[in-house]
Structure formats: C-alpha cells, structure tokens
Structure 1
C-alpha cells in the first residue's frame, strides 16, 4: 500500500536536506481506508516532513483531511498568458486555441496525452455506438497516462461537438432534449470527480448515445 509506504518513509530523517516533501495528487481519489490511515500521519506529522495534497474537487475530500490542511486555491490563467506559455513551450500556434478550450485556462502536465488523443476518432466511436472499441481505445491510451483525465477530455470534445451542431444545424425544435444532454454531461463530470470507475463512466457516457443521435447527429 503506497500510503503505508509513505508513512513509513516520512518517519525517517531525510539525508540530503532538512525537509522531506511528499506530493499527493488527486487526494479526492484516495480510498476511504487509505484516507483514514493517512489521517494518522496528518494529525501528528514529523517536523521534517511536509505533505502537499492536490485536488480539483475540494468537496470530494474527506472533511477530516481538509481540516488538517492549509487550503490554497489557484485561479486560471488569462487567455493571453496561456497562449504565451504554450508558444514558449514550442507548441503549434494553430493548436493553442484548441488547448485553451480543452484545458480550461490551466497549464496541463498532460499535454503529451492531449497530443496523442484523437478527438475525431473517439467521437466517431461514440456516435456509431462502438462501445467495445471505445473502451479499448481509452485503455490503450491510459497506459501512457491518466484515464480520468482522458475521459474528462472526451467530455469536453463531446460538449464542443454538441455546441457546434446547435449552431450549425436546425435543431431548435429539440432544444429541451439537448439541454437534458448537457445536464447529463455535467452529471458525468461530477461522477468522474467523486466516483471514478472507468467502465462505469464509459457506460454512463454511452447511455447518452441514443439521445445524441436522435436530437443532434445526422448520419
């Protein structure tokens, strides 16, 4: 168990510096049993140890963990700052607008995943109802990174697609049903944050397939 290993290591003195720092990403994803174990070290942390916990969903973190931490909130970058940073990183200017949309104005450590992520292919698999190959595709990509992040990326692609179709096509008579689809997408995004299981999320996504085909997509 990684949490137990971290606790054991934190109890030893650091050799190369005065402090030992542990960074725990996506703390809201930690299982309850592990979180309860982690609480023990948070209650009385060694003087030489610092824990940095990250989350994009503070409400999904156990209140007992939050109460033992100093909470720091970070805002999003402006569009100009975002574009400037990605230009300096050497990314194609023609793609930066797409990155800006997908990353919500924050610099992503998952940029290489986005480059390998084929939004057109994933959308095609969804629209044709090919659940099996959709799952295989995401399983293949997840070997290179974070499944949770990739599925959030796909939700953005699907949201963008729905918005574009509403603008480009005559779908005004289906506005109410399309609004329901957007509400479902919001529910799925919340599910990813607080109850993430790959197969469950993909099944939830494909539950929307018929609604999208009936009200938005024209094959």
Structure 2
C-alpha cells in the first residue's frame, strides 16, 4: 500500500483513472502511457501488472507483499514480460519473439502482461509487426506501451490503445519524491527547481561533480551578496575551472538564479530592506543565459555580473 501512496502522490489523476478502471472492471487490452522521463510511467506499469496477479488485493490495490507482487517487483514473474530497446531500437525479432511467447498459455495463470519500454524506439518493421498483433489480441492478454514521444508512435497503434497522459511532476511533488529517496531536503529542493524529471534529478544527485559545483556557486553567491571583491578573483580561479562546457555553464547560472530567488524571497518574507539588490542580480543572471547562448564567453559573463553587483 505504500507504493500506491507514492504513485498517487506522483500522478494523482492517472492513479485515480486507473483505479476507477479496476473498480468497475473496465480494462482495455492495450494501454499507451505517454509522458516525460521520470514521471512514473514505468512504476505505474508494474503496479498495473501487480494488480492483475496479486494474491491479496486490498480495496482493489495490490498488497505489495504476496509472492506474485514481490516477484513482479524483482522482475521475476514468468507471465509479466518486459521489453527494452536492443541498442538504439526495438527490433522486429524482439516483437516476433513476443508474439510467439504470447501464443502460449500463461505459465502460472491464464493471464499475461507485456510492458514495452521506450516504445517510440520501435523501428518500422517492429511497429508493423506489433500492429498486426494488436489487431487480433489473444484472450487474457494486456500490453502497456510506455513512451516519451507520442508523435513517434504509429497512428494505427495509437488508435488501438487507451492513451494515458502523465503530467510533468510539479516542483513540490518532485521534491517530495526525491526526499523519499533519502536525498537531503535542500538538495532535493534545488534539483526539483533545475529539472522536472525524477530520473534526471536522481542522476544529477549522484554526480560528484554536481555536488562540488553547487558548493562553488554558493560561495560565489556569498561573495556577491557581501559585495566582496574576492568574487572577481573567484570567477577566474574557481568558476572557470569548474564549469568547462556550455551545459555546465548554463547549469551554473541556473543554480545561481535559484539561490538568488531563495534569498530574495526570504528577505521579502522578513520585510527586510535590500530586495532591489537581489532583483538586480537575478536580472543579470537571467540575461547571462541568453549571452551564453549567443556565444559570449562564460568568464566574461561572470565577470560582468561581478562588476555590476560588487562595484555598482
């Protein structure tokens, strides 16, 4: 039941939609889960599969503790088949092997559930092969296609699936989900403001470079906030050496913008004087990203910000 609570927090509309289908026995034979990376598609697909095989449903929800639920979690249930891209694509041989498998009865029940991850990576042959199968699906068969790009799925496949749209995670929901994974609150809040992808946020949090880079930006902000001339030297000695390529440099300005907004909002809540300074700095930082895209050097931009704030 804890898994259900987590999924309900991540995708409340989708969760309610699927739960209503369970409660009223209105299940399609084919679903298409569409949404950005990290929005819970894969987790809800497995939860859906558990609902089909759970030995102890509780209020139409998988118990998460029976033998079948545990085996699906560990990807060890013979009647739940998952397909991932083989290299850069899902090949026709993978779909043909699936078709052969599904013509057989379930190993432990009459049911079978298939989950195809990154379905947009099916090539033309594999997509057409799957289409033929969807036109005449076997009994007690359910397929869930999961995709980040609905437009790359054949219209004829889309028309044979019930499409479920997964909304991008709100900042608050993403932060809560990251904290549930034992990521510290401050880091989780920063990550949730840098990306709306759970998968990307977790990936960034495990990057040693990111943790160092965050501390570097915080120190630079501290110098700027105090009008400390060391901010200028810090750009040359630390910022330039830490943020080497354009993606990293954009991230530096995004992190700085986040810290500036946080401090500005704190000052406003406390009715303190000096909000204008943070507004000026924020304006400079937001403009910095545009300059970087126009191929102005990172060092020049950072030095201009420093000169404007420290020596204004």
Instruction: Output the TM-score relative to the length of structure 2.
Output: 0.41
User: How has the CA–CA distance of structure 1 residues 41 and 173 changed in structure 2, closer, same or farther, with 3 Å as cutoff?
Assistant: closer
CA distance in 1, matches of 2:191, 2:289: 30
Contact 1:13 1:48 in 2 (8 A): no
The range that moved more, 48-57 or 166-175, is: 166-175
User: How has the CA–CA distance of structure 1 residues 170 and 101 changed in structure 2, closer, same or farther, with 3 Å as cutoff?
Assistant: closer
| RMSD (Å), alpha carbons | 3.4
CA distance in 1, matches of 2:186, 2:289: 33
> What's the counterpart of residue 142 of structure 1?
none
5 Å-filtered alignment, 1:123-202, equals 124-127=243-246, 160-161=251-252, 167=282, 169=284, 181=293
Matched residue of 1:18: which SS?
coil
> What's the counterpart of residue 187 of structure 2?
95
1:147-187 per-position Cα deviation (integer Å, ceiling 9, x unaligned): xxxxxxx6xx6654455589475896995x76xx4xxxxxx
> What's the counterpart of residue 26 of structure 1?
118
Is 1:217 equivalent to 2:309 in the alignment? no
User: How has the CA–CA distance of structure 1 residues 42 and 114 changed in structure 2, closer, same or farther, with 3 Å as cutoff?
Assistant: farther
Structure 1 residue 16 displacement after superposition: 1.7
> What's the counterpart of residue 134 of structure 2?
42
CA distance in 2, matches of 1:115, 1:26: 24
Is 1:57 equivalent to 2:134 in the alignment? no
> What's the counterpart of residue 308 of structure 2?
none
Which has the higher Rg, Structure 1 or Structure 2?
A: 2
CA distance in 1, matches of 2:289, 2:173: 38
Matched residue of 2:115: which SS?
strand
Instruction: Output the TM-score relative to the length of structure 1.
Output: 0.55
Give 5+ residue unaligned stretches, structure 2.
Answer: 1-92, 214-241, 258-280, 301-312
Contact 1:28 1:61 in 2 (8 A): yes
Matched residue of 2:187: which SS?
helix
CA distance in 1, matches of 2:122, 2:250: 28
- Give aligned pairs, total: 153
CA distance in 1, matches of 2:249, 2:158: 33
CA distance in 2, matches of 1:14, 1:71: 26
User: How has the CA–CA distance of structure 1 residues 101 and 22 changed in structure 2, closer, same or farther, with 3 Å as cutoff?
Assistant: farther
